[in-house]
A and B are shown apart, each in its own frame.
Chain A
Amino acid sequence: MTFWRQVYEVARKDLLVESRTAEVALMTAPFGAAALILIPLAIGTDAPLLSQLGPGLYWIVVLLFGMLVILRKSAVDGQAQRDLVRLLGIEPAAAFAGATAATSALVLFFEVALGPILIALYNPELRGWPWLFVILPLVAIGMGLLGTIASGVTTSIGTRTSLTPLLIVPLSLPLLMGATQALEGLRLGRGIVPWLILLFAVDLALAVSGVLAARPLEEAVT
């Protein structure tokens, strides 16, 4: 089996598990939507203020509630599943890439699911919206990479659900910064290329780190 076929099969397996439980679609996404509804009740329902704050709040919800999407995989994959993947001769780098692809796809789904709710509730300016087709996947890939690495180092640890977000959230600052500032740049009609480069650089650095760490990560959970 070629490397890319292995990546595809691992990603397919993870997405198949998600399609059976629909955890992200039926639980995490509504949870994030509920948060977007609650926030204005805490900070005020002034329409111009919400229109301005909406995109930033959206990214905060994606980042923090996206943790649940990331943690989902480490909760589903037990020792038996990990042993099976290893016995099948899947390359550690392929297993990492496949898991990242699946998590990124689910984070992207989560982002897209919250988008209409943001527009309906906060009425943000949508100038330059086609750029979202670039920004949303770049953030999703970054979160997927960071999440797969962090989930890998916390696998089978009792305090995993608390520890993983502590590892991810401070390191995800460039993703949050890139996403929010790119949208702000679009709103103000400024250039957003530096922020896209930042998002791309984060993804690249994490991808290289993850692929290089894939074998030690696999040994760590053996």
Chain B
Amino acid sequence: MTIVRNRWLEIVTVAIIGVSLFRSMTVVADVTQGDVQRIMYVHVPSAWLAFLAFMVTMVGSAAWLRTKDQRWDRLAASSAEIGVVFTGLAIVAGMIWAKPVWGQFWTWEPRLVTTALLFFIYLGYLALRRAVIDPVQRARRAAIMGIVAAVQIPIVYYSVNWWRSLHQPSSARSIDTPLRITLLLGVVAFTFAYAVLLRRRLELARLEEELDAKRFEQSQSVAGADITAPSLASHPHD
């Protein structure tokens, strides 16, 4: 019972992912695209999750600048890491889908370009975090970058959208009910997966910080430690 109480989120997530996976494999195939359309059940939830994760990063960044509480920084960083992974997944899934449907892996369509840029923007954010050792300085610099990046995202999105558009518009409302339910189930499953991953990553980040603090304490030398007392063993006749 204790395991169930402690792991309820993981258990629920595995169950929902299982149902989502089963449904995405068994639901009726799309009339025009056939089985390749099933990639949508991974691609769309991944993209949704990436945007959700980056929004959480912005909220965590703003909250850190306001409160200076390291928990917000851990939230921002953990969410960005998960966001980058799912952005990558969305891009790869989109490319696999695009090859049979559009005839090529990559087309210069707005949402594809925007998603790729998001990947690099937050890769830069994570690189910035790795480059700064001091936790407070790291949190401060990353928080500024987290907010500036989030402010730019809508502009990046619209600029590319104005440029040209091949990508099919949001199809959640235009598709048949069984397919829509499967898609929404995928979104729910991925959101639960995000919650589990975020909780785990936050715990890991807290442990990393504690370990770093202990290492720092141990590395601080005690005053006078450089002066060693003469060893009696070296003067056996005294």
Residues on the B chain within 8 Å of A39, using CB: none
**Cross-chain contact A209 with B159 (CB below 8 angstroms):** no
A170 to B145, CA, bound (A): 13
- On whether the beta carbons of A166 and B123 are closer than 8 Å, the reply is yes
Pair B145/A153 contact, Cβ less than 8 Å: yes
Chain A residues lying within 8 Å of B137, measured Cβ to Cβ, are: 220
Main SS class of interface, A: helix
With most chain B CB atoms within 10 A of its CB, the pick from A153, A157, A216 is A153
Q: How large is the interface on A (under 10, 10 to 19, 20 to 34, 35 or more residues)?
A: 20 to 34
Do A154 and B121 form a contact, CB below 8 Å, given A171-B152, A181-B163, A198-B159?
A: no
> In the bound complex, what is the Cα–Cα distance between A173 and B151 (angstroms)?
14
Q: Within 8 Å of chain A (Cβ to Cβ): is B120?
A: yes
Give chain B's interface secondary structure class: helix
B65 proximal to A (CB < 8 A): yes
Q: Which of B123, B124, B131 has a CB less than 8 Å from the CB of A158?
A: B131
Digit string of B150-165 for contact with A (CB within 8 Å is 1, else 0)?
0110011011101100
Residues of B within 8 A of A158 (CB): 131
B23 contacts the other chain (CB 8 A): no
Produce 1/0 per residue, B127-156, CB < 8 A to A: 110011000010011111101110110011
The contact sample of 13 A-B pairs, CB cut-off 8 A, is A153-B141, A158-B131, A163-B124, A167-B124, A170-B117, A171-B148, A171-B149, A173-B117, A174-B152, A177-B163, A198-B159, A213-B148, A216-B144
Which residues on A are within 8 Å of B, measured CB to CB? 149-150, 152-154, 157-159, 163, 166-167, 169-171, 173-174, 177-178, 181, 194-195, 198, 201-202, 205-206, 209, 213, 216-217, 219-220
